[in-house]
Chains A and B, each alone.
Chain A
Amino acid sequence: MFFDIILFGLVALGGILVLCGIWLRVTRLRHRLHQERDISLLTYAMDHHDAGVAVLDPHDHRVLYQNKSYQCFAPDITSVLAQVRWDERTHTETVHRVDTRKEDRFLSVSVFPVIDNTGLLRCWVISVRDITQTHTDHLLQMQTRKLEAMAALTGGIAHDFNNIFSIIEGFTRLSQVADHDTQHDYTDRVLNAVFRGADLCRRMMTFSRAEVQTEDVIDCGQVLTDHAEKFIAHTYPYGGRIKLYTDFDMGCAVRLSEDVLFQIVSALLQNAIEAIDDAENATGDIILSVQSVSSNDVPPAVQHAAGFDGGRIVKLSVIDDGAGVAADIAERVFDPFFSTKDSGRGTGLGLSLVYALIKNAGGFVDFVSYAGEGTTVDVYLPESDDVPQSREARGHRNNADSDDFDLSRCRALVVDDEEDIVALTANMLRSYGMDVLEANNGNQALVQYDDCDGDIDVVITDVRMPELNGVQLAELIRSIDPNVNIIFMSGYPVSAQGNGNAVPVTDVCLKKPVDPDGLKDVICSVLQRQDGRQAGRVQYWQ
């Protein structure tokens, strides 16, 4: 009986153990089934995902796992993986161009390092996506924008110059048959048209290769306070409902020339005035303000876009409550020749010029506008630590007294690839009594120089010429006679010459079109300096 009980107990225990075993096995089996189901689900998901995903060995980048999409990328991916950055600290994403036989493809490749709890690199996860379509769409969009801007640009230039040429042609023809007094009036009109054209050219060149680098440090507030009233009243004889409120902080020092500041303010004011003209319910108030603000007060987006890193910022604002523009137009206001105004009212160069000038001065322009409510343009410029100079200190650097100097004994050589410019300059010089030699290119100039054994007091040369440019010509002439006087003429700003066209800073460079009196002054000052040449070469003149 006792044994029976023990036997029964053992059998029962055995049964329980067996049952436990079975239960354990089933549980394990179920767990494995779950796991397998998860894995197969994961594999299914992975294989139907359009991104290629792979797990690579942490050391030799051997493929440990890859999904189906990744296998499709496989032929190209080896070369791409050779270019990616393997950074164990962070994930990197790069775009690669792959040449396939048919077409170029763009792949976006992400590399994730997988780090375990102990901080060891376990594997790399690579994710590859084909972004060719998005990329191409984006490029296409950019190209369309560019073409639109180009069309506006060429159209705008053609339109403006056509007007100018019509004026010149018309009045020239009229003056051919006019009596003496009227003729004078007509030639004045022709001259004005030419000035307008030259001004337009200068503005376009400022836009295309603008360099506003300057030694001048001005106090924006001071300069505007001193001159704005007169300058604004003179430029825009506004009246009626337009009222200008100004608020200038003093001590806003920026590295900018006075001319550039006036150009910017004048363009912004003109836009504001025209916006008010276009809106019937506008009050006509324009606020022009200059403030010195801390960089923290600048909107973060602006701070980021402009790359300001601390320090104080000068903020110049023009606010109007005129017509304003819609968001899609606001995007394009900086495009050259883009204009919302009717043909004949404004060139569409104003804001693009402001943009170019400010960008080159290291600043940023923020344009905020709502249709029907008005526009705010904020110009941000980094404040300069230097002390602003007085107007006198910035004034003309060179004041040669041309009346004292007799040019009639002097000989000049004029070089320009434009025959008319040579003729014009030569005639100017002859009118001062000078003996003038002419050349239409650098090589001719060298021959002329050699023919008279270098007996030339001053060489006046264009900078941009085909084959041998002015700077190269100067080098060659100076190799023969290091002491020769050379004056450059250029349609471009001195500092904006392209490669190989940079006029040495010690040389004189005149802006085209050259004004007769200016030319005479410069020649006199250069020739006068000849005696004091040992004391150091010429400083620049602009």
Chain B
Amino acid sequence: MTRFSDFRVLVVEDQSDVRSMLRKVLSDLGITQIFEASDGREALLFMDDAFDFVNLVICDWNMPSMSGMDLLRQLRTVNNDMPFLMITGRSDKDSVVAAKGAGVSAYIRKPFSPKQVEAKLRILQEKYKIE
């Protein structure tokens, strides 16, 4: 048992190398239940069945067909409390404000380090009492 072993994470990211890097970072932190989706549509399909099961969504902002923001809005119609960690290359104030407004729980700026992921997971865990 590690601190993060209760996380059940869905990673939504269109680039497979970033996906596998995230998987590596998360499993190094002791998370064993990691699911992957390569775009928003696949994520929604997965979440249809797994809404009660998954307790954290980590999602890229920029994806073709359905952006991270679109996915977030769709998810928020069903569950307002789902922890949602946005990964973004945008660091301008407007984007951050927009993301917060849409209900992002936390965001990570690219490029990111494993420590940064750990910091954000701790914050989400503390805020959402993921145990």
Q: Does A468 contact B (CB under 8 A)?
A: yes
* Residues B116 and A479 in contact, CB atoms below 8 Å apart: yes
Assembly CA distance A458 to B47 (angstroms): 41
Max count, chain B CB within 10 A of own CB: residue among A444, A477, A478, A479: A479
Q: Nearest Cβ distance between residue A454 and chain B, in whole angstroms?
A: 11
A479→B112 CA distance, assembly (Å): 8
Contacts of B127 in A (CB 8 A): 447
Chain A residues with Cβ below 8 Å from B125 are 443
For B93, give the chain A residue with the smallest CB separation.
Answer: A453
Residues on A with beta carbons closer than 8 Å to the beta carbon of B120: 450
- Chain A 434-468 near chain B by CB (<8 Å), digits 1 or 0: 00000000111011001001000000000000001
A-B residue pair count with CB separations less than 8 angstroms: 33
Identify A447's interface contact among B96, B116, B118, B123, CB under 8 A.
B123
Q: Is the CB of A450 within 8 A of B123?
A: yes
* Choice from B106, B115, B118 contacting A450 with Cβ under 8 Å: B106
A444 → chain B closest CB, angstroms:
6
Q: Does A42 contact B (CB under 8 A)?
A: no
Contact A447 B115, beta carbon cutoff 8 Å:
no
Residue from the list A442, A453, A476 in contact with B115, Cβ < 8 A: A476
Q: Measured between C-beta atoms, what is the minimum distance from A461 to chain B in Å? A: 14
List of B residues within 8 angstroms of A468 by Cβ: 122
A385 at the A/B interface (Cβ < 8 Å)?
no
Pick from A444, A453, A475, A477: contact of B126, CB under 8 Å:
A444
Contact call A446/B115, Cβ cutoff below 8 A: no
Of the four ranges (under 10, 10 to 19, 20 to 34, 35 or more), the interface on chain A belongs to 10 to 19
Q: Are A447 and B126 in contact (CB under 8 A)?
A: yes
How far apart are A367's CB and chain B's nearest CB, in angstroms?
Answer: 50
Indicate whether A480 reaches chain B with its CB closer than 8 angstroms: yes
Residues of B within 8 A of A447 (CB): 123, 126-127
Contact A443 B116 (CB under 8 A): no
Cα separation A480 to B96 with both chains bound (whole Å): 15
Check A479 against B115 for contact (C-beta < 8 Å).
yes
Closest B-chain residue to A475, C-beta based? B115
Classify the secondary structure of B's interface with A: helix
Give the size category of B's interface with A: 10 to 19
**Chain A window 494-536, contacts with chain B (Cβ cutoff 8 Å), 1 for yes, 0 for no:** 0000000000000000000000000000000000000000000
B18 at the interface (CB under 8 A from A): no
B119 at the interface (CB under 8 A from A): yes
A480 to B119 Cα, complex, angstroms: 8
Please measure, in the bound complex, the distance between the C-alpha atom of A468 and the C-alpha atom of B115, giving whole angstroms: 13
| A453 touches which of B96, B118, B119 (Cβ 8 Å) | B96
Contact across chains for A446 and B126 when beta carbons are under 8 A apart? yes
Q: Are A446 and B123 in contact (CB under 8 A)?
A: yes
Q: Which of A442, A443, A478 has the most CB of B within 10 A?
A: A443
For A450, what are the chain B residues with a Cβ–Cβ distance below 8 Å?
Answer: 106, 120, 123
- Considering the complex, give the chain A residue whose CB is closest to the CB of B100: A453
Query: Would you call A480 and B126 a contact (CB within 8 A)?
Result: no
Complex: A475 Cα to B118 Cα, angstroms: 10
Minimum C-beta distance from A438 to chain B (A):
14
Q: Nearest residue in A to B106 (C-beta to C-beta)? A: A450
Verify A476–B118 contact, CB threshold 8 A: yes
Q: Which B residues lie within 8 Å of A444 (CB)?
A: 126
Query: Considering the chains assembled together, what is the distance between the CA atoms of A446 and B113 in angstroms?
Result: 16
**B122 to A476, Cβ gap below 8 A?**
yes
10 more A-B residue pairs beyond the given contacts A442-B122, A479-B119, with a C-beta to C-beta distance below 8 A: A444-B126, A447-B123, A447-B127, A450-B106, A450-B123, A468-B122, A476-B118, A478-B115, A480-B116, A480-B119
**Interface CB pairs A-B, < 8 A, 19:** A442-B122, A446-B119, A446-B123, A446-B126, A447-B123, A450-B106, A453-B96, A468-B122, A475-B115, A476-B115, A476-B118, A476-B119, A476-B122, A477-B119, A479-B113, A479-B115, A479-B119, A480-B116, A480-B119
**Nearest 10 interchain pairs by C-beta:** A479-B115, A476-B119, A479-B116, A443-B126, A450-B123, A447-B126, A446-B123, A443-B122, A447-B123, A446-B122
